[in-house]
Structure 1
Amino acid sequence: MKQAAKSPITRVRHVALAVPDFKKTAEFYRTAWGLEVAHKESDVVFFATPGHPEQYILRVREDAAKRVDLIAFAAENSSEVDALAQRLGSAGVRLATEPGSMATPGGGYGFRFFDPDGRLIEVSSDVEQRASRALEPRESIPQKLSHVVINSPDVQATKRFYEQHLGFRLSDWLEDRMCFMRVREDHHILAIGQGPHTSLNHVSFEMRGIDEFMRGTGRLIRQGKEPVWGPGRHSAGDNTFTYFTDPVGNVVEYTTELERIEDDETWQPRTFSTEPDVADQWGTAGPFEPMVPAMFNSPDQGLWTPSPL
C-alpha cells in the first residue's frame, strides 16, 4: 500500500474569536481561565501561556458579531506554505490572502483561505517564538492549546476537505456524529462534529497533568462557574475533560493526557458510542446529551468574511 503523504500541518497555533461582550470575555480568559496577556490593543487581546513558546494561543477581538475570526495552523517552513497555497489555489479553494509576511505578533510567513463551510483558516511558518518555561507542580493554568472542534452541517464533506487538501488523517469516530483528525502523533488537533449549522463546538487547552487539571476545574467551580460536562475521561482520545462556557457562550475545555498514535501506518480508526459508560470512562461527568445544545453554539456570523486583522 502506498504511504499517505505527510501533512504540511504540524500543530494548531491559535484560535481567534470575535465577541460582542469584549471586556467580560477577555477578563474571563485572563483570570478564571488562567491565560496571560501577551499583546493588547484597545479592541483585541492576544493570550499566551508561559508553558509554551507560541506567541499566542487565543485571540479575543471586540465585534458586534459573534464569530470565529480564524483557526491558525503551523507549517514547517515557508516552502511548505507556498506549496500548500499553490495546491489549494489550483484545486479551486478560495484564498483570502496570498502567502506573504504577516503583521500579527511574532510576524512569520503565511496565508489564509476558506474551508468548505466558509471558515477562515491560516497556515504559517517562521513565527517568532516567545520565552517559555516548564509549568510547576500544582500550577493549574493551560500548558498549551490542545485542539479545536468545529461543527459542520456536512461532517463527511468537511472531513474529506481536510484529508484531501491538508493531509489530516482520521483517528476515530464518535458514532457518526464526530470525527477526530490528526497530523502527527497527537490523537487529534481538529475534530469535526455534525451540527445544525456552522459554528465553533469547543476549544481545548491542555493542563500539566491530572492534578493540575482537577485544580483548574476546582478553581472555576469555586468561582461559581459550573461545568457544562465533566470532569471525566473520554473514550475517543482517552483524554480527561471538563467543559465550561465563556461569557458569550463559547465552550472551552480543560484536558490532559491526550492519546498519542505512534504507529501511524497501522492505526485502525475506531467508532465509539455516546452511551454514558463509554462516553465517560470514569462515570463522573453526568449524561452526554444535556451538553449538546451548548456545543452546537450559535451560528457563526463571520462565514466567508476575511478577518479584519
Structure 2
Amino acid sequence: MVHRIGHVGIRVSDLERSVRHAEEIMGLREVERVDGSSYLTCNERHHELVLVQGEQVACDHLAFEVRNDEDLRTAREAVLKEEDVTIVSEEPEEPGLDGALRFVGPGGFLFELFHGMAADEPPHYNTIGARPRKFEHITLKVSDKERMEGFFQKVLGFRLSDRSGDSISWLRCSPEHHGVSLIRDEKDQLQHYAWQIEDFSSIARTGDHLMRNNKTFLWGPGHHGIGDNYFCYFLDDDGVIVEYSANIMRVENEDAYVPRTWPDEPLSVNRWGNPPPPEEFVNGGTDLTRARISHG
C-alpha cells in the first residue's frame, strides 16, 4: 500500500530561524509558505519537509505516499477497522497533493497518507553545504512496539527488514532497507528523521559545513551494520535530531529476503566500533503535538 516515505511535519517556535537552518545548513529550498507553514524540498517534489509555526517544538505529523486514489480508499477501509485509530480529515491539508487522509494512530502519532504529490519543482538550485537527494526515513520511539510494528505491517503494508534483539525493528515500504524504524521506549516520540545524501564524501562536506557554522556532529560519522548505510547525526536549531544517510542497503528480491535478528550490541549500529551513541542521542526525541493526541 504505502510505497514511499513522504515527509515529516515539525512544529517550531521560531519559523524564520528554522527555515533559515533548513536552507543554509541542510541545503533545502523553501517552495512556499502558507498560513504559518513552510514547505521545503530538495528535489522536484513540492515538499519533503513541513515546518509549522507553533508555541513549542513538537512532531506535528508523519506522511507516507500511496500510489493513487484507489490505494487511499483501501487504506481508509483498513484504518477504520482499527480500534485505536481516529480519522481527523479526508481532504488534503497541504498544498501540492491530489488526495490525503489524516488520522491519529497508535501512540498518538498523527499520520498522513497521500497521493499525487506535485513534482514540478526545479531539480537544480544553488545551495550551501551537502544537498540531500530525498527524504529517506523516520525513527520513532514507541511505548507499544508490538502494536506499532503490527500496525505498520497490517494496515500500511510495510515489510519487516531486521530487528536488533527485542529493542529495535526496521521496516520497509520500498526496496530500500528501511523507511521506518521503531525503538522500544516508555514514551512515544519522533527520535530522528533522515535524508538520503549522495555518498560518504557528502558526509565529509556536511561535517566541514557544520564546523564553519560553529556546529558539530551529534554522532558519527559511522557505518550502520543494520541497513549497511553510512551515517552522521546532528541537531537542528530546535534540538530535533537529523540524520544524513548514504548507500543504504536495498532488498531487490522480496521473495528471497529473510529478516534477520542482529545482536543488540554497539557493533550492530556502528561497524566501525566505538564510541557508541552518546546519551544525548539515545535519550533524544521530539514530543508529539499535544493537540493531536487529544483526538485519540
Give the TM-score normalised by structure 2.
0.91
- Give the alignment of 1:17-56 within 5 angstroms: 17-41=10-34, 43-49=36-42, 52-56=43-47
1:243-281 CA-to-partner distances (Å, cap 9, x unmatched) read 011122110011110100011122121223453333212
The residue that corresponds to 2:242 in the other structure is 252
Whether the 8 Å contact between 1:81 and 1:123 is mirrored in structure 2 is: yes
1:83-120 CA-to-partner distances (Å, cap 9, x unmatched) read 2102211344321113x4x2522131111112211111
Which has the higher mean CA deviation after the structures are superposed, 174-183 or 39-48? 39-48
Whether the 8 Å contact between 1:13 and 1:54 is mirrored in structure 2 is: no
SS at match of 1:265: coil
Whether the 8 Å contact between 1:112 and 1:122 is mirrored in structure 2 is: yes
Whether the 8 Å contact between 2:3 and 2:66 is mirrored in structure 1 is: yes
The residue that corresponds to 1:58 in the other structure is 49
Alpha carbons of 1:250 and 1:72: their partners in 2 closer, same or farther (altered >3 Å)? same
Whether the 8 Å contact between 1:39 and 1:105 is mirrored in structure 2 is: no
Whether the 8 Å contact between 1:272 and 1:279 is mirrored in structure 2 is: no
Whether the 8 Å contact between 2:26 and 2:130 is mirrored in structure 1 is: no
Show structure 1 runs of 5+ residues with no match: 1-7
Question: Partner letter of residue 29 of structure 1?
Answer: A
Alpha carbons of 1:221 and 1:173: their partners in 2 closer, same or farther (altered >3 Å)? farther
Distance in 2 (alpha carbons) for counterparts of 1:59 and 1:235: 30
Distance in 2 (alpha carbons) for counterparts of 1:214 and 1:174: 28
Alignment match of 1:288 (pick from 270, 273, 277): 277
Identity within the alignment, %: 24
The residue that corresponds to 1:3 in the other structure is none
1:18-63 CA-to-partner distances (Å, cap 9, x unmatched) read 01233322221111111111112463211111xx322111111111
The number of equivalent residue pairs is 292
Distance in 1 (alpha carbons) for counterparts of 2:97 and 2:195: 23
1:175-214 CA-to-partner distances (Å, cap 9, x unmatched) read 3221101112010111111122111100100112221232
Question: Partner letter of residue 97 of structure 1?
Answer: S
Distance in 2 (alpha carbons) for counterparts of 1:273 and 1:35: 36
Distance in 2 (alpha carbons) for counterparts of 1:199 and 1:226: 23
Question: Partner letter of residue 12 of structure 1?
Answer: I
Question: Partner letter of residue 286 of structure 1?
Answer: P
Whether the 8 Å contact between 1:135 and 1:143 is mirrored in structure 2 is: no
1:241 Cα deviation after fit:
0.8
The residue that corresponds to 1:88 in the other structure is 79
1:221 Cα deviation after fit:
2.7
Distance in 2 (alpha carbons) for counterparts of 1:240 and 1:129: 28
The residue that corresponds to 1:4 in the other structure is none
The residue that corresponds to 2:199 in the other structure is 209
1:142 Cα deviation after fit:
0.8
- Give the alignment of 1:235-246 within 5 angstroms: 235-246=225-236
The residue that corresponds to 2:293 in the other structure is 304
- Give the alignment of 1:149-168 within 5 angstroms: 149-168=139-158
Distance in 2 (alpha carbons) for counterparts of 1:225 and 1:180: 29
Alpha carbons of 1:107 and 1:277: their partners in 2 closer, same or farther (altered >3 Å)? closer
SS at match of 2:16: helix
SS at match of 1:162: helix
SS at match of 1:87: helix
Distance in 2 (alpha carbons) for counterparts of 1:266 and 1:289: 36
Distance in 2 (alpha carbons) for counterparts of 1:71 and 1:305: 17
Distance in 1 (alpha carbons) for counterparts of 2:108 and 2:231: 29
Which has the higher mean CA deviation after the structures are superposed, 261-270 or 273-282? 273-282
Give the TM-score normalised by structure 1.
0.87
Alignment match of 1:69 (pick from 45, 55, 60): 60
Aligned residues: CA RMSD: 2.2
Question: Partner letter of residue 80 of structure 2?
Answer: G
Distance in 2 (alpha carbons) for counterparts of 1:282 and 1:132: 38
Whether the 8 Å contact between 1:231 and 1:242 is mirrored in structure 2 is: yes
